[in-house]
Amino acid sequence: MKVSLFITCLSDAIYPRVGEAMVRLLAKYGISMQFPTVQTCCGQPAFNSGYWKEARESAKTILDAFEDSDFVISPSGSCTGMIHHYPKLFENEPVMLKRAKALESKSYEFTQFLVQVLGVTDVGAAFPHKVTYHPSCHGSRILGVKDEPLALMKQVKGLELVPLPFAEDCCGFGGTFAVKMADISGAMVTEKADHVLETEAEVLVGLDMACLMNIAGNLRYRNEPVRVMHLAELLYEGVKEA
Amino acid sequence: MSGSHQAGATVKARAELALNDEFLRKAVKFTTERLRNGKKKASEEHGNWDEWRERGKQIRLHTIAHLDYYLNLFVDNARANGVHVHFANTAEEAVKLTLDIAEHANAKSVVKSKSMVTEELHLNHALESIGVEAIETDLGEYIIQLAGEMPSHIVIPAIHKNRYQIAELLSKEAGYTLPPDTTALAGFVRKKLREKFLEADIGMTGCNFAIAETGSMVLFENEGNARMVSTVPKTQITLMGMERIIPSWEDLEVMATLLPRSATGQKLTMYMSGITGPRRAEDADGPDEMHIIIVDNGRSLQLGDPEFQELLNCIRCGACLNACPVYRHIGGHAYGSTYSGPIGAVLTPSLNKNIAEWDDVANASSLCGACYEACPVKIPLHDMLVYLRRRKVESGNGSKLESIGMQGFATVMGNSSRLGGVLRLGKLGQKLVVRSGVIRTKLGPLKGWNTYRVTPSLPKESFRDRFDTLDQELKQGLKQMDPAMQSRMEQLVQQRKNNGDSGKGGHGHG
């Protein structure tokens, strides 16, 4: 059984700790994650900006990387969501289209895999902190990942989950949107961070480092000490401490 | 026509005006929140909301797929009811038809109920140009008409104004000071409009749905003004987009379930009028003469286009505006056209052949998908925004700078060793700008991002640098997998093989 890590370029480059937490957590269940190094980026920045030729160049590395995998797990609903767009991206290339559909059917976001495939909700973690959760748009809307992270957090001992007001509103990242429409994006992330602060949570948790980088960037800009983590990190830290 | 917020050539410039207008942002947030919560409550109380959405979508898909048939059926039936039916290919044709009818009726004034299609045609100005007074009788439309602005929301045209601003506008019209009290303000408008209804030669309406099987038109409204418009004046002109058709009254039940709940959270609007032809001998009221002008104006561009045909399914409820986190901050005028919000960002370029011109509107979205989730007929607006961007790039109208950047992206991301090289370079280069683990400089490409945030720095080791060591550590003493877990995974793999790896693995609904 080949379980592969689709690290995503962002976690690879900036947040390797998220990949490490995933790999360590799954090792607890006897899963040795494989990491094909030919993978780069899912191609979303180019795809969403309308540069599909360029997106295909990048997407091909993902198709190559996971050709032989049985399960492809990523720490991002957005990047896994991008794989769901591959059939459209390669709709005019029959061979690639077949590979794209095959990859789509075996790709999972991290909590989706943990809960839906492994059937795990209690990882045996303790995390005695006040936590709020931002559900990222692509994970929850494209993949339908809504209950999985909540089920996992519910089993964490000592974790107090405080609802985030307007949780389902986008944080304003949107890839190149944050650069092209910087002021609109800035207004959105500022409001999102305001809501995080309203909860008085010590920790903001999520399933997508792009959104979390955006919100954390704003919190840090304002010198707010809220800790921002991926759920995989929180769970792994909680397991160590339990 | 242009009010203060329509200034600015790009959506960015227009958005900046809105972002600096605290009154506007507060007013838009207040009302969209109210509408969004109302919709949420109404759809939850209804139960089976998603099934009804799917029914609504299927009705719209079916109708649009057979639009020629249902349009003909509608026209035949409407004519049999005594309605004069006209077709307009373009906005100019629609305006000319309207003006001809007005001239023929020797009209001095027209009372209008709310209609987005007449806004699209800029009909009020055309009427005024031949000396016919056009009066909006929907409260919100009346307010923006006085202000000389475009609607900033499909359902709530004056959403961007608070009651103090409205009181100021209406006081000017009244010639005395009105209190910023909603009841008093509405009272003034009611009295004022009552006279206009009685004087008007023509009543002009839009059309929410046109029922093919009987040639009837249906209007949803809350103020009763559309009923006045369609009963008092001697002549009625209805303007409708060619896609407003549904096959039957039975289908209307589904639409009447979806539209008010999605628009305002109401189970039903205060008035729902079905009009089948002009006044008959036995009727107490109604127009003697009734015209329906069916407008294309770019709509047929979407027919047969697999990426955009579903746009014609839109029932103009405005739910996507209320759900949109971008609209929430910039309001409707920033979109620069009659239709705003996510639907406007797609519809405006699509109704115009010149995609290039409208590109910046399609960029004003984070592609979060809230519009799709809110849509009662499930139009994938977030996908369409990407298709618009792609068409712009493919037609050679993309930004030069971005195009170079994306070629660079493809070069680096097309090969993992090049990506590794770039990361190593980045680690060296960032030494110049990293302070306490983050980058705060507002120079160059980081300006936009760092005006609101800090940028994280690259850690010493990327994941790909770290993996081998991690893997070796974990492989020692890796425990056996739980047999139940293992067999579930094997089953899934087998299932996929049986399905021929056909995609749609049952997880996610993208």
For residue B125, pLDDT over 70 is answered with: yes
pLDDT at B2: 37
A216 reaches B (C-beta below 8 A): yes
Mean pLDDT of A65-81: 97
Tally of CA atoms within 13 A in the half-sphere of B360 that contains its CB: 15
Query: Measured between alpha carbons, how far is B281 from B425 in angstroms, rounded to an integer?
Result: 85
| DSSP β-ladder status, B438-439 and B455-456 | antiparallel
Give the B window 325-364 contacts with A, CB below 8 Å: 325-326, 328-330, 363-364
For residue B150, pLDDT over 90 is answered with: yes
Residue type, B148: G
For residue B506, pLDDT over 90 is answered with: no
pLDDT at B508: 57
Mutation site for A-interface testing, chosen from B22, B394, B463 by largest number of A Cβ within 10 Å: B463
What pLDDT band is residue B499 in, cutting at 50, 70 and 90?
confident
Give the count of domains, chain A: 2
B8 reaches A (C-beta below 8 A): no
- Point out which residues pair with A72 in neighbouring strands: A4, A107
Query: Measured between alpha carbons, how far is A236 from A240 in angstroms, rounded to an integer?
Result: 6
Mean pLDDT of B3-16: 74
Domain assignment of residue A122, yes or no: no
**Secondary structure element (H or E) that encloses residue B132, with its range:** none
Domain assignment of residue B12, yes or no: yes
Q: Residue B265 corresponds to which tokens in the numbers above?
A: 């959270």
Domain assignment of residue A176, yes or no: yes
Last residue of a domain, one of B301, B326, B360: B301
Per-residue pLDDT reduced to its tens digit, B270-288: 999 999 999 999 999 999 9
Mean pLDDT of B178-205: 95
CB contact under 8 A, A117 and B490: no
Domain assignment of residue A123, yes or no: no
Q: CA B341, B305, B337: angle at the middle one, nearest 5? A: 25
| Whether residues A88 and A168 fall in one domain | no
Domain assignment of residue A197, yes or no: yes
Residue B504 main-chain phi, psi, to 5 deg: 50, 65
CB contact under 8 A, B481 and A29: yes
Last residue of a domain, one of B301, B316, B336: B301
| Whether residues A48 and A113 fall in one domain | yes
Give the count of domains, chain B: 2
Domain assignment of residue B506, yes or no: no
Domain assignment of residue B64, yes or no: yes
pLDDT at B304: 93
| Whether residues A68 and A149 fall in one domain | no
Cβ distance A181 to A206 under 8 Å?
Answer: no
Last residue of a domain, one of A117, A152, A186: A117
CB contact under 8 A, B482 and A29: yes
Mean pLDDT of A76-83: 97
pLDDT at A241: 87
Cβ distance A4 to A65 under 8 Å?
Answer: yes
| Whether residues A13 and A113 fall in one domain | yes
Domain assignment of residue A237, yes or no: yes
Which of A49, A102, A143 comes nearest B389 by C-beta? A49
Cβ distance B439 to B454 under 8 Å?
Answer: yes
Domain assignment of residue B109, yes or no: yes
Q: Which domain holds residue A134?
A: 130-241
Residues 6+ apart with CB under 8 A from B346: B308, B311, B362, B381, B384, B385, B388
Last residue of a domain, one of A64, A84, A117: A117
Per-residue pLDDT reduced to its tens digit, B54-72: 999 999 999 999 999 999 9
Residue type, A97: L
CA proximity to A21, closest of A140, A152, A110: A110
For residue B84, pLDDT over 50 is answered with: yes
Residues 6+ apart with CB under 8 A from B269: B220, B221, B222, B260
Based on the number of CB atoms within 10 Å of its own CB, is B253 exposed (0-12), middle (13-18) or buried (19 or more)? exposed
Q: What is the mean pLDDT of chain B?
A: 93
pLDDT at B359: 65
Cβ distance B297 to B351 under 8 Å?
Answer: yes
| Whether residues B287 and B424 fall in one domain | no
For residue B183, pLDDT over 60 is answered with: yes
| Whether residues A103 and A35 fall in one domain | yes
> Which residues from A are below 8 Å from B395, CB to CB?
none
**Taking every pair of C-alpha atoms in chain A, what is the biggest distance, in angstroms?**
52
Give the A window 193-212 contacts with B, CB below 8 Å: none
Domain assignment of residue B341, yes or no: no
What pLDDT band is residue B3 in, cutting at 50, 70 and 90?
very low
- The distance of A41 to chain B (nearest Cα, Å) reads 6
- The distance of A94 to chain B (nearest Cα, Å) reads 13
Cα-based distances in Å from B293 to A65, B97, B297: 58, 8, 12
| Whether residues A109 and A38 fall in one domain | yes
- The distance of A35 to chain B (nearest Cα, Å) reads 8
CB contact under 8 A, A30 and B407: no
Mean pLDDT of B189-203: 95
3-state secondary structure of B484: helix
Q: Please identify which residue in the block is written with the tokens 């590794």.
A: B420
CB contact under 8 A, B510 and A81: yes
Nearest CA in chain A to B440: A221
Percent of chain A with pLDDT over 90: 99
pLDDT at A242: 82
For residue B5, pLDDT over 60 is answered with: no
Domain assignment of residue B145, yes or no: yes
Mean pLDDT of B187-201: 95
Domain assignment of residue A77, yes or no: yes
Which ipTM value was assigned to this complex? 0.97
| Whether residues A51 and A92 fall in one domain | yes
What pLDDT band is residue B502 in, cutting at 50, 70 and 90?
low
Q: Which domain holds residue B143?
A: 4-301
Percent of chain A with pLDDT over 70: 100
Q: Residue A207 corresponds to which tokens in the numbers above?
A: 């399933």
Per-residue pLDDT reduced to its tens digit, A114-167: 999 999 999 999 999 999 999 999 999 999 999 999 999 999 999 999 999 999
CB contact under 8 A, A30 and B480: yes
| Whether residues B296 and B425 fall in one domain | no
What pLDDT band is residue A88 in, cutting at 50, 70 and 90?
very high
For residue B112, pLDDT over 90 is answered with: yes
CB atoms within 10 A of CB A115: 19
| Whether residues A93 and A10 fall in one domain | yes
| Cα B30 from chain centroid (whole Å) | 19
Domain assignment of residue A183, yes or no: yes
Mean pLDDT of A204-214: 98
CATH number, domain containing residue A178: 3.40.50
Per-residue pLDDT reduced to its tens digit, A21-34: 999 999 999 999 99
What pLDDT band is residue B501 in, cutting at 50, 70 and 90?
low
pLDDT at B352: 85
| Whether residues A162 and A221 fall in one domain | yes
For residue B4, pLDDT over 50 is answered with: no
For residue B355, pLDDT over 90 is answered with: no
| Whether residues A104 and A14 fall in one domain | yes
CATH number, domain containing residue B224: 3.40.50.10420
pLDDT at B1: 36
For residue B510, pLDDT over 60 is answered with: no
Q: Residue B7 corresponds to which tokens in the numbers above?
A: 């200034």
Per-residue pLDDT reduced to its tens digit, A161-207: 999 999 999 999 999 999 999 999 999 999 999 999 999 999 999 99
Percent of chain B with pLDDT over 90: 88
pLDDT at B444: 83
Q: CA B434, B440, B446: angle at the middle one, nearest 5? A: 105
Domain assignment of residue A125, yes or no: no
Last residue of a domain, one of A89, A117, A145: A117
Mean pLDDT of B23-52: 96
Mean pLDDT of B132-154: 97
